Amino acid sequence: MQTVTLTIINEEGMHLRPAQALADAASGYDSDIYLQTADGQEANVKSVLNLIALGLEKGAQVTLATEGEDEEQALSELAKLFEQGFGE
């Protein structure tokens, strides 16, 4: 299992557009990919609805976890999306 702590930098937080971009990118990997909040909520990153349900606002700290055969590549690529503000 690989993990990294990231910060939501989008002004609107994790709304539909970044959630869809993250879920789309994650669906290209075979690994299990989860996002966990500081208060222990967890969501499958491949589900847009699960991501939005976390209610993540700008500045929220989250842990991205990947587990599977392509976990390192998945973690690296998905972390880049967070750092780039999901293209917004």
Active site residue 23: no
In terms of C-beta density within 10 A (0-12 exposed, 13-18 middle, 19 or more buried), how is residue 69 classed? exposed
Pick the catalytic residue from 15, 63, 68, 79. Answer: 15
Distance CA 41, CA 71 (A): 21
The count of other CB atoms within 10 Å of the CB of residue 65 is 19
Q: Cite the active site residues.
A: 15
